[in-house]
Amino acid sequence: MTARSSLTVVLAAGEGTRMRSSLPKVLHPVAGQSLLAHVLDAAPHGAGASLAVVIGPDHKAVADEVKRVRADAATFVQAERLGTAHAVLAAREAIARGADDLLVAFGDTPLISAETFARLRAPLEKGAALAVLGFRAADPTGYGRLLLEGDHLMAIREHADASAEERKVTLCNAGVMAFEGRRALEILDRIGNANSKGEYYLVDAVAIVREMGLEAVVIETSEDEVRGINNKAQLAEAEAVMQARLRQAALDAGVTLIAPETVHLAADTKFGSDVTIEPFVVIGPGVTIADGAVIHSFSHIVQTSIGKKASIGPYARLRPGTSLGDGVRIGNFVETKAATIEAGAKVNHLSYVGDAHVGANSNLGAGTITCNYDGFFKHKTTIGEGAFVGTNSSLVAPVKIGKGAYIGSGSVITKDVPDDAMAVERSPQNNRDGGAARYREMKMRAKAAKEG
């Protein structure tokens, strides 16, 4: 890592009209995390690294997301969209502080990696005034073209302003740039708007750097890394690229993915060693899976921590706030939410466990339901260690089941059950000797009479 200080300015003022959504473009998710969060995560971190995000007016939700992801980042509002250079200058106050390197990135380009930012900064250390991230575009239409003389970057020509000859160039501007920090403001202030769209183009920095007799260079990367998101189809493509990366990283870390292409991961999923994930599992944000756990097919898991050697599913739904101890077994058609289930406990079939604390080694039979909501408020269910809840029991919260207590099947439990007590809440059973035989005879006679 370089010891140079840096300021990263992320441009996120766009409306994103082509997303056809009320959500600001940079807040759309890829792998369970906003486009903007991906860029903020990849931008330089740590001592000497500062961040500024340029947002549109009325984009409070974007400002909130910035604060959530990088509390140290400053936000600046670009009141009018007059072009990318104009957008960068909305952060003038931060730029004027004069970090060694000024990095500019786009908030809608989520696949960029931290390594690429580092590679882009390296030429500045060797005296270049500007380094531009370039890529070979399969279809360069619409992109700014990088015009080179030998290794020297001479200019960037926007598609609309490019000649027929220049349009043949496939080396394109990814939009990410690194400026020598102390010269950045001087360069940016020289950018004018004499072009076909009348905008202040950041790309004009290259020609200005040349006029100043300074060096500009290109650092190349793959097209996949710099895909910009403008519509839902591109959002889906970025998701596919990100999922492929996440699956590969999981496999490299030793996770067994039996059918990797059917498993959906989140950018922040954390795995222990020897984790197995069966086909068709969806993992949302905030999931941690400890050593030796097995996630069976068709499970859906969000904001959950799973203990060592736990077994989940098939067909389990683990919702936010679920915390499962070591060796916990969650079976088919079980839903959990805001539930702590301690080590060795079993909830094997057809249950809902919400707003609950379940003690170690307890057993919740098939069809156990925590009735946590009274239509107005949520209430808590506490189940002690080693308790046994018989099948088809309803636990009407707030309610406490003591340690080692036993609940008879089919009970509706509305009162606390002391430790080691047995609670049975159902009508006494009534057996009538010969009743079934008499009933059959009566019905058969009635049928015979009707059929005449």
Q: Which residues of the chain form contacts with ligand UD1 (CB under 6 A)?
A: 11, 13-14, 54, 78, 81-84, 86-87, 106-108, 143-144, 156, 158, 172-175, 201-203, 228
Nearest to 36 by CA among 68, 81, 83: 68
Least distance in angstroms from the C-beta of 17 to ligand UD1: 11
Contacts 24+ apart (CB under 8 A), 305-313: 307/343, 308/272, 313/278, 313/281
Least distance in angstroms from the C-beta of 90 to ligand UD1: 8
Q: Which does residue 322 bind out of Mg ion, ligand UD1, none, counting CB within 5 to 8 angstroms by kind?
A: none
Least distance in angstroms from the C-beta of 81 to ligand UD1: 4
Nearest to 311 by CA among 353, 266, 263, 344: 344
**Residue 231 contacts by C-beta under 8 Å, 6 or more apart in sequence?**
18, 19, 20
Q: Which residue's CB is nearer to ligand UD1, number 39 or number 124?
A: 39
Q: Which does residue 272 bind out of ligand UD1, Mg ion, none, counting CB within 5 to 8 angstroms by kind?
A: none
Q: Which does residue 135 bind out of ligand UD1, Mg ion, none, counting CB within 5 to 8 angstroms by kind?
A: none
Is 349 an active-site residue? Answer: yes
Nearest-angstrom CA–CA distance, 310 and 314: 13
Nearest-angstrom CA–CA distance, 315 and 55: 41
Task: Consult the annotation and say whether 167 binds a ligand.
Answer: no
Nearest-angstrom CA–CA distance, 174 and 28: 20
Full DSSP string of 146-187: EEEETTEEEEEE-GGG--HHHHT--EEEEEEEEEEHHHHHHH
Q: Which does residue 202 bind out of Mg ion, ligand UD1, none, counting CB within 5 to 8 angstroms by kind?
A: ligand UD1
Q: Which residue's CB is nearer to Mg ion, number 45 or number 159?
A: 159
Q: Which residue's CB is nearer to Mg ion, number 28 or number 329?
A: 28
Closest residue by beta carbon to Mg ion: 228
Element (H, E) at 105: strand 101-106
Least distance in angstroms from the C-beta of 208 to Mg ion: 22
228 binding Mg ion? (CB under 5 A): yes
Task: Consult the annotation and say whether 337 binds a ligand.
Answer: yes
Residues in the chain: 452
Task: Consult the annotation and say whether 108 binds a ligand.
Answer: yes
Q: Which does residue 81 bind out of ligand UD1, Mg ion, none, counting CB within 5 to 8 angstroms by kind?
A: ligand UD1
Provide the 3-class DSSP secondary structure of residue 437.
helix
Choose the catalytic residue: 45, 300, 349, 379: 349
Q: Which stretch binds Mg ion (CB under 5 A): 62-70, 86-94, 221-229, 382-390?
A: 221-229
Task: Consult the annotation and say whether 14 binds a ligand.
Answer: yes
Nearest-angstrom CA–CA distance, 272 and 290: 4
Q: Which residue's CB is nearer to ligand UD1, number 10 or number 306?
A: 10
Task: Consult the annotation and say whether 372 binds a ligand.
Answer: yes
The phi and psi torsions of 193 (rounded to 5 degrees) equal -125, 30
The phi and psi torsions of 424 (rounded to 5 degrees) equal -130, 120
Least distance in angstroms from the C-beta of 139 to ligand UD1: 12
- Quick one: tokens of 75? 């936000």
Task: Consult the annotation and say whether 426 binds a ligand.
Answer: yes
Task: Consult the annotation and say whether 381 binds a ligand.
Answer: no
Element (H, E) at 347: strand 346-349
Nearest to 328 by CA among 336, 222, 48, 419: 336
Q: Which amino acid is at 126?
A: K
Nearest-angstrom CA–CA distance, 303 and 88: 36
Q: Which does residue 11 bind out of Mg ion, ligand UD1, none, counting CB within 5 to 8 angstroms by kind?
A: ligand UD1
Task: Consult the annotation and say whether 207 binds a ligand.
Answer: no
Residues belonging to the binding site are 11-14, 25, 78, 83-84, 108, 144, 158, 173, 230, 319, 337, 352, 363, 366, 372-373, 409, 426
User: Which residues are tagged catalytic?
Assistant: 349
Residues belonging to the binding site for Mg(2+) are 108, 230
Residues belonging to the binding site for UDP-N-acetyl-alpha-D-glucosamine are 11-14, 25, 78, 83-84, 144, 158, 173, 230, 319, 337, 352, 363
Which residues would be at the binding site for Mg ion (CB under 5 A)? 228
Residues belonging to the binding site for acetyl-CoA are 366, 372-373, 409, 426
